[in-house]
Structure 1
Amino acid sequence: MSQASPALEAFTDEMIRLCAKKGYHPTAFKGMRERHGTLEAMRRLVRNGDVQSGFLRLTELGLQDWTIEAAILRFKPEFDRTDIECARWRLAQASRAV
C-alpha cells in the first residue's frame, strides 16, 4: 500500500479540523483513513458511483476546496488517471447543482 505524502496528510488533517470547526465530523472517512490509509480511503470514496454525503456536506458548508475530490486534483501525482477523472466529474456535477 502506498503512502500519502506529508503534504497530502497535512491537507487532510486540516480538512478534518475545518469540518469540526463548522460542526461536521467526517467519522466514516476518518475510520476508512485509519483502516486503509489516506490514499486508499480517498481512492475508494472517489471511485464509488454514489456522491458521498461528506462531499455534499462540505459543499453545503462552503468547503468545496477541502473535499477529497479537491485534494485529488491538488495532489495529482499521488493518484491515477481514474481517480482524477472521477474527482473532476464529481466537482463538475456539484458546480452545476449550485
Structure 2
Amino acid sequence: MTDVLEDLRLDERLLLGKPWTLVVWDDPVNLMTYVTWVFTSYFGFPREKAERLMLQVHTEGRAAVAEGTREEIERHLEAMHGYGLQATMQRVDG
C-alpha cells in the first residue's frame, strides 16, 4: 500500500510541476506593524507566525511566506503588490 501512495504522490508532483515560493522583501517604506497586519489579514497567519516572518523580512532582508502552484503564488504576488509590499516568486529547487 505504501508503494501505491508513493506512486500517487510522485504522479501528483509531476502533474503540478515544481512548487513555487512567494518571497517578501524588506523595504524602507512599510512599517513592521503594517507587514504583520498584511500577513495576518491576507494569509490568515496567527499573529506569532506573522511577526516571526515580518522580523525575518526586517533582519534578513527577505522571507519565504508561501509555497504552492505557480498560479497560487502569482495570485499571492499580485495581492502583495496591491498591499504595497515588494515581493517576487521563485521556483523551489529540488
Q: Which has more helix, going by share of residues? A: 1
Query: Which TM-score applies when normalising by structure 2?
Result: 0.30
Greater per-residue strand proportion: 2
Is the radius of gyration larger for structure 1 or structure 2? 2
TM-score (ref. length: structure 1): 0.29
Higher RCO, Cα 8 Å, sep 6+: 2
